Amino acid sequence: AKAGAGKGKKRDGQSGTVHVLAGGELKAVSVQLGITDNRNTEIIGGDLKAGDRIVIGENSNGVKPPSSVGMRMF
């Protein structure tokens, strides 16, 4: 067996949608999905460009985001 086999589920060929913040508005962008561990999913294709601001959650009314945001490496 290959090293790392079974650690992620393949989703090659499946598509998904992410939301990009552009000009103060959300824009839906289609992407092609790679492997996933059901928490993180690889994006292997689509209309994303370097520097796009991807929305990964929503802020509840009256709740401020954390004052310091760390970079998550994957």
Percent of the chain with pLDDT over 70: 61
Instruction: Say if residues 10 and 37 touch (Cβ distance below 8 Å).
Output: no
Relative to beta strand 15-22, strand 25-36 is antiparallel
Q: Is the pLDDT at 61 greater than 70, yes or no?
A: no
CA-CA distance, 6 to 61, in Å (whole number)? 40
Residue 39: C-alpha distances to residues 8, 50, 66 (Å): 10, 22, 21
Q: What is the pTM of this model?
A: 0.59
Give the start-to-end residue ranges of the domains of the chain.
Answer: 15-55
Q: Is the pLDDT at 3 greater than 80, yes or no?
A: no
Q: Is the pLDDT at 16 greater than 90, yes or no?
A: yes
CA-CA distance, 74 to 40, in Å (whole number)? 9
